[in-house]
Amino acid sequence: MFDCVIVGGGPAGLSASIYVRRSNLNVAIIEGNMPGGQMANTAVVENYPGYESIAGADLAMKMYMHAINLGVEYIAEYATDIKKEEYFTITLANGETVTARTVIIATGMKHRKLHVPGEEEFTGKGVSWCAICDGNLYRGKDVAVVGGGNSAVEESIYLAGIVNKVYLIHRRDEFRCDKLVLERLKRLSNVELILNDEVKELVGGDSLEKIILKSGKELIVSGLFEYIGFLPSSEVISTLNIVSSDGFIEVDENCKTKIEGLYAVGDIVRKNVRQIVTAVSDGAIAALHAAKCCR
Ligand SMILES: Cc1cc2nc3c(=O)[nH]c(=O)nc-3n(C[C@H](O)[C@H](O)[C@H](O)COP(=O)(O)OP(=O)(O)OC[C@H]3O[C@@H](n4cnc5c(N)ncnc54)[C@H](O)[C@@H]3O)c2cc1C
């Protein structure tokens, strides 16, 4: 039996594990993919204090080794279910179970993808889901944004201040966003709207070079930012009745859910700012509260 089991080994989960372990409790992380979460797939991180510029994979590895060197147990499996009776029982994809006195959910969020040819190949080499993080890599270059909501429009405005030109591709002729934001976008001379069209294929060599649209039009760009929605990774807690209709988890100021001993941290939580620094902050808060529960 673990004092604490953390589901998800991104920055939120890794940070939580460090704080739980430093409270002298035994703790395991269950991670179904590589350690580091979305951070590990980020080319360069330039806004994590202490590192002016660091490869996301390097930052992920530093956090992971920090946890492992403290004695955090790492279970490389997907968690498929969590039940609470006297204690928590977490079921893994391989059928095994793990028991814990407290559980911290740190499963993050996955970006909705276009699922077009070339998308996988150029992920991290032109295809991005984070303009704040990666926009600077395209300074002075041409990029495209795809989407029709607030995120797509706001991130296009942000990118227009950095890059040479932004093509905003939307499959309809009207945007689902605040009117004022749209007006701001339309005033920008380096943004071209491409309406009633969709991305068909991404083409390039070592990195993205061209987008082919369904209309046949071709855009020569170095970057494509996808803002077509997010999907919270909440499958593992679907039976616990703590997920709201949109899949995110409501927590209190201690990152505690409405179930005693169950916490949620990072991008899976309902909040406004989803960054590495906010994820690790949540991890620390939940861990210290969970540690109190175990004493
Ligand atoms: C392309 C991109 C670039 C970004 N760049 C930056 C940046 O430069 N700076 C910045 O501050 N933020 C950046 N972000 C945002 C940042 O990465 C996230 O806010 C942060 O990673 C959230 O951390 P998390 O631990 O909550 O979730 P994640 O990082 O999403 O980690 C969740 C982990 O849980 C695992 N998991 C999910 N379900 C299960 C399950 N059932 N069982 C086991 N494991 C599971 C996943 O495999 C994943 O590893 C970027 C995001 C993207 C997509």
Regarding whether 67 and 6 lie in a shared domain, the answer is yes
Task: Check whether residue 222 and residue 236 sit in a common domain.
Answer: no
Q: Is 30 in the pocket of ligand 1 (CB under 6 A)?
A: yes
| Residues, the chain | 295
Same domain, yes or no: 28 and 49? yes
The closest of 10, 12, 15 to 72, measured between CA atoms, is: 15
Is 294 designated active site? no
Contacts 24+ apart (CB under 8 A), 132-136: 132/47, 132/158, 132/275, 133/42, 133/44, 133/45, 133/46, 133/47, 134/42, 134/43, 134/44, 134/223, 134/225, 135/159, 135/162, 135/163, 135/225, 136/46, 136/162
Residues contacting 192, CB < 8 A, separation 6+: 165, 166, 167, 168
Out of 202, 226, 250, a domain closes at 226
Q: CA 135 to CA 97: how far, in whole Å?
A: 42
Last-in-domain residue among 210, 226, 242: 226
Residue at 84 is within a domain: yes
Q: Is 129 in the pocket of ligand 1 (CB under 6 A)?
A: yes
Q: How many CB atoms lie within 10 A of CB 233?
A: 21
Q: Is 134 part of the annotated catalytic residue set?
A: yes
Q: Report the nearest atom of ligand 1 relative to the CA of 266.
A: 26
Handedness of CA 210, 211, 216, 219 (dihedral sign): negative
For the beta carbon of residue 230, count every other beta carbon within 10 angstroms.
Answer: 18
Most ligand 1 atoms within 8 A of CB, residue of 38, 82, 151, 239 to mutate: 38
Among the listed residues 40, 35, 44, 85, the one whose alpha carbon sits nearest the alpha carbon of residue 65: 35
Residues 210 and 243 in one domain: no
Do 103 and 9 lie in a common domain?
A: yes
pLDDT in tens, the chain (295 residues): 999 999 999 999 999 999 999 999 999 999 999 899 988 877 678 889 999 999 888 999 999 999 999 999 999 999 999 999 999 999 999 999 999 999 999 999 988 999 999 999 999 999 998 887 789 999 999 999 999 988 799 889 989 999 999 999 999 999 998 898 899 999 999 999 999 999 999 999 999 999 999 999 999 999 999 999 888 999 999 888 899 888 899 999 999 999 999 999 999 999 988 899 999 999 999 999 999 887 7
Please identify, by atom number, the ligand 1 atom nearest to the C-alpha of residue 38.
29
Between the CA of residue 197 and those of 135, 173, 217, what are the distances in Å?
23, 9, 9
Question: Is position 116 within any domain?
Answer: no
Does 117 map to a domain? no
How much is the pLDDT for 103? 97
Residue whose C-alpha is closest to residue 194's, from 176, 212, 171, 160 = 171
Among 3, 58, 81, 130, which one carries the catalytic annotation?
A: 130
Tell me: do 39 and 177 sit in the same domain. Answer: no
Structurally, how many domains does the chain consist of? Answer: 2
Q: Is residue 12 in contact with ligand 1, taking CB distance under 6 Å?
A: yes
Rounded Cα–Cα distance for residues 261 and 240 (Å):
13
- Confirm or reject: Cβ of 33 under 6 Å from ligand 1: yes
In a domain, 35, yes or no: yes
109 CA distance to ligand 1 middle (Å): 6
Query: What pLDDT, on a 0 to 100 scale, did the predictor assign at position 96?
Result: 97
Residues 105 and 135 grouped into a single domain: no
Domain assignment of residue 9, yes or no:
yes
Beta bridge partners of 225: 128, 145
Q: Is residue 118 part of a domain?
A: no
Q: What is the CATH number of the domain that holds 154?
A: 3.50.50.60
Residues 18 and 105 in one domain: yes
Q: Residue 222 in contact with residue 143, Cβ under 8 Å?
A: yes
186 is a domain residue: yes
Q: Is the CB of 135 under 6 A from ligand 1?
A: no
Nearest to 227 by CA among 126, 146, 136: 146
Q: Do both 64 and 154 map to the same domain? A: no
Site to probe by mutation for ligand 1, drawn from 6, 39, 123, 280 as the one with most ligand atoms within 8 Å of Cβ, is 39
Residues 216 and 244 reside in one and the same domain: no
User: pTM of this prediction?
Assistant: 0.79
**Dist. CA 183 → ligand 1 center (Å):** 32
Same domain? For 35 and 92 the reply is: yes
Closest CA to 102 of 36, 198, 28: 28
104 lines ligand 1 (CB under 6 A): no
pLDDT of residue 43: 67
Beta-strand ranges (E) seen in 53-138 are 54-55, 73-75, 79-84, 88-92, 97-105, 109-111, 127-128
Q: Which of 207, 236, 235 is nearest to 221 (CA)?
A: 207
9 lines ligand 1 (CB under 6 A): yes
Question: Does 128 sit in the ligand 1 pocket, CB within 6 Å?
Answer: yes
Same domain, 89 and 176: no
Supply the range of the domain harboring residue 21. Answer: 2-111+230-294
Question: Which residue carries 């976008």 as its tokens?
Answer: 185
Helix axis angle, 276-294 relative to 11-22, nearest 10°? 30
Domain boundary, last residue among 176, 211, 226: 226
Q: For residue 4, indicate whether it is catalytic.
A: no
DSSP of 21-55: HHTT--EEEE-SS-TTGGGGG-SEE--BTTBSSEE
What is the pLDDT at residue 177? 85
Is residue 119 in a domain? no
